[in-house]
Amino acid sequence: MDRAIDKVRDALQARGLRLTKPRRLVAEKVLSARRHLAADDVLEMLRRDGTPVARATVYRTLEMMKECGTFDEHDFGRGRKVYERAIGRPHHDHLYCIGCGAIIEFQEPEIERLQDQVTRRYHFIAMYHSHKIFGYCRRCGPKAPSGDKAHDEPPRHQDTKND
């Protein structure tokens, strides 16, 4: 984990920015998280740890980390963006359950290969991509779509790599 924070520090320094204590606290939460975090999640976690960081600082830090390439930002259309560490992790894409909000990560070399093929065809220099598939997860599938109130909050346990 310390190696990762060094990379964050370097990435910020390369842009003339400093890894201040509050920024470090925010960065560490996302680096060590095992799921995708929204700004509100980070705020709440820091508050619970007794190391609160101002809301504006949390938002600005997440934005900064995205811009320097250490975090990935995703918008799954629920009115909030979520973040995850980009450094020290293999590239992956996402399945998003519109029933319960679960985020499932996947890696598929064949999709990557086809994307490369497409960009080459158009002489397009790809810098990054974010492939998202929206639908219903295993648990939401059979009864979807439903207006089940109990399903409005995303169950966190399902935001894992392999489920």
- Residues with Cβ within 8 Å of 130's Cβ and at least 6 positions away in sequence, in order, are 72, 74, 93, 94
C-alpha span between 31 and 8 (Å, rounded): 10
Q: Which of 100, 104, 154, 159 binds Zn ion (CB under 5 A)?
A: 100
Binding mask 132-151 for Zn ion (x = CB under 5 A): -----x--x-----------
- 99 scored as a contact of Zn ion (CB under 5 A): yes
Q: Return the amino acid letter for 9.
A: R
Cα 136 to Cα 30, 86, 108, 163, distances in angstroms:
26, 26, 19, 13
Q: Which of 64, 84, 104, 159 binds Zn ion (CB under 5 A)?
A: 84
Cβ-based nearer residue to Zn ion, 9 or 35: 35
The piece of 20-28, 38-46, 75-83, 131-139 that touches Zn ion (CB under 5 A) is 131-139
User: Least distance to Zn ion from the beta carbon of 90, Å?
Assistant: 11
Q: How many CB atoms lie within 10 A of CB 113?
A: 10
- 41 scored as a contact of Zn ion (CB under 5 A): no
The piece of 5-13, 17-25, 84-92, 112-120 that touches Zn ion (CB under 5 A) is 84-92
The answer to whether the peptide bond before residue 145 is cis (omega within 30 degrees of 0) is yes
